[in-house]
Amino acid sequence: MDSPSFRDRVESGAFDKMVLGIGLGAGSAFEQDVMMNLLESQAVREAETIASIGAEDSKWVAWSGGGDYGNIDLPQIQQMCWWYYRNSPFGKNIIENYTFLTVGEGFDAEFDKDADAKRWKDRAEEIGWYNEHRTWVRSTFGFGEVPLVLFPLTGRMNGKPGKKTAVRMYNPWQISDVVTKAGDPKAIRYYKKVDGSKINPRDVIHMRINYMGNYKRGLPVLLPVLKPLYYAQKFLTNRHWINHVRARIPAIRKVQGGRTQVQAEKARLQVLPKPGTYAIENKTTEWQYPDYKIHAADAKDDYRHNILAAASGVNLPEFLVHSTAENSAYASLLAQESPTVRMFQDFQKLFANWFRPIIAAFSETENFVMKIPLVVPRNLKEAGEAYGRAEIQGACSKRTYAEKLGLTWTGKDGELERMAEEGFSPVTSQGDFPGAADADEPEECLIQRLESDPAFLNRIKAVLNNGAPKKGGAHARRT
C-alpha cells in the first residue's frame, strides 16, 4: 500500500495543529483548500531544504579529491573560507581580528645605516609595503597559505637569484603542487603552477599556518569553525523568518457556523482594527492571539553555543568573535586574553621571519633588526613599571624597555636619538659604573652612579638649569 499523501495526512487530522498554532477546523477564517495548498508546497520546500542540508552536512566530513590532507579538496575549502570572509559577519570579524592583532601598526625594520634606511623607505613606498603586507597576513589567515613570489624570476631551478625588483602574491590554488626532493620532505625542488610551469623555491616565500608534520600546504583559520558559523548564520535566518510569520498572523478569528458565516465575517473584517477601536462581537465569534512559543530568550543559549564553538575553534575569546563582552566578567576577560596574546606573539615571530628576506632583498643589506608591532596587553601600566624597574636594576636594556612599550629605538625620531638630544646616556644604568652590581634598589643604583660618574651628575645639573654642561665635569664636586 502506498504511503498517504500530504493532503491525506492533513485531512485525516494528523496535522490538525500546525507548527504556528493555526487550526484547520471548519470554523477557521482561512479557506481549507488554500491553506492545504500552501502547506503542501511548504512541505515540499522543507523536504528539499532538509535534503540539501543533509547533503551539505555530508561535505563537512568527506570532500572529494586528494593531496596532503587525504580526501580534503584544499582549493575548494580555501575558496569557501574566502566566501565566509566576504559574506559572514562572524567570519569577517575573526579574520580581521587575527590580522589586526598580528599586524598592529605594521612590521618594519630598523637599520644601522641611514643610507640603508632611506633605500628601504623608498622601495617600501614603491611596493606599497604598508598595505601589501597587511593583505598578505590577512590572506594567510584566510587561505591558510600564501605564496609570495619575488621578481624577476630565476631562470634555472638551480640558478642563483639576482636582484629583486617586485613581489607578487599568488592565490594558493594557482600552485598545484609543492615538489620536494626524494627522501627529504623539507627540501623543496620547485613549485608547480596549474599551467605546468615551475618556480624556483628561492624565488618563493611560502607563508603557511595550521599544518602538522611534513605537510607542504597550510589550512585556513576558519576551517575548524565552518560548521558552527554555518549553523549560527542559518539560526539567525530561521529566527528571522519565524518572526516574519508571527508578525503576518498576529490574531485568529474563530467563527461558529458553516462556510456562509465564515465568508460573511471574512468580508466584514479582514485586517486588524486600528488602535483605539472598540470591538463589539456576538457570542458566535471570538478573537484569539496565539502564543507561538518562540521567544528570543528561549533561543539565546542555542545561538550562543554556536558562537562559543566557533570561538573555541579559532582560539579567541567570545567577545572577539561576536564583538560583545556581555557574557563575560572583567576578570574572565583578562584570563582569556593571556593565551590569545601569546598566540599572536608567536604569529608575529613567524611573519617577521617571512618578511625579513623581502626587506633584505629590497634594502640590499642584512644589517637591520625587524621591528615587530606590540600586541598591547590590558595591563600596560603594570608592564611599564615592571620593565622600568628591570632596566634600572640592569635586568634589561633601555632598548628592550622601549621596545616592550611599543616605542622605536633607532632611526629618525627614535628614542636613542631623542635621548641624545636631551643629554641623557642611552646605556643601561647597571654595569656602567663601579659598584653597580652590588646595588639592589633603584635609589642605590642612582646614588652610586652619581658618586662614580661626575660627568653624569654635571649633565643632570645642566638639564635642570636649562643650560649646557659645564666643562671639567670630571673634577666637579660630588653631592
Q: What is the pLDDT of residues 125-162, one digit of tens each?
A: 999 999 999 999 999 999 999 999 999 888 666 666 67
Adjacent-strand bridge partners of 166: 151
Adjacent-strand bridge partners of 177: 192
| pLDDT(408) > 80 | no
More confident residue, 26 or 399: 399
Provide the pLDDT for residue 65.
36
Rounded CA separation 209/150 (Å) = 20
The contacts of residue 3 (CB under 8 Å, 6+ apart) are none
Strands (E) across 87-162 are located at 108-111, 145-151
For residue 207, report the phi and psi dihedrals to the nearest 5 degrees.
-85, 120
Rounded CA separation 220/143 (Å) = 5
CB count within 10 Å of CB 447 equals: 13
Q: What digits encode the pLDDT tens for the residues 94-116?
A: 999 999 999 988 999 989 888 99
Tell me the pTM: 0.63
Provide the pLDDT for residue 205.
95
Minimum mean pLDDT among 20-34, 172-186, 352-366, 403-417: which range?
A: 20-34
DSSP string, 412-424: TT-HHHHHHHTT-
Counting residues of the chain whose pLDDT is more than 90, the rounded percentage is: 24
| pLDDT(333) > 60 | no
Rounded CA separation 42/241 (Å) = 13
Task: Tell me what the mean pLDDT of segment 19-32 comes to.
Answer: 40
Q: Residue with C-alpha cell 598591547?
A: 376
Task: Tell me what the mean pLDDT of segment 298-314 comes to.
Answer: 79
3-state secondary structure of 162: coil
| pLDDT(321) > 60 | yes
How would residue 354 be classed by pLDDT, with cut points 50, 70 and 90? very high
Q: Evaluate whether 439 touches 445 at the Cβ level (below 8 Å).
A: yes
Average pLDDT for the chain: 74
How would residue 59 be classed by pLDDT, with cut points 50, 70 and 90? very low
Provide the pLDDT for residue 61.
39
3-state secondary structure of 393: coil
Q: Is the dihedral of CA 72, 76, 80, 86 positive or negative?
A: positive
Angle between helices 89-103 and 129-143 (to 10 degrees): 130
Q: Residue with C-alpha cell 587525504?
A: 70
How would residue 45 be classed by pLDDT, with cut points 50, 70 and 90? low
Rounded CA separation 15/38 (Å) = 13
Adjacent-strand bridge partners of 451: none
How would residue 17 be classed by pLDDT, with cut points 50, 70 and 90? very low
Provide the pLDDT for residue 431.
40
- How is residue 150 written as a grid cell? 619575488
| pLDDT(62) > 50 | no
How would residue 33 be classed by pLDDT, with cut points 50, 70 and 90? low
Provide the pLDDT for residue 165.
84
Rounded CA separation 31/28 (Å) = 7
Task: Tell me what the mean pLDDT of segment 447-465 comes to.
Answer: 69
Task: Tell me what the mean pLDDT of segment 245-267 comes to.
Answer: 78
Task: Tell me what the mean pLDDT of segment 173-179 comes to.
Answer: 92
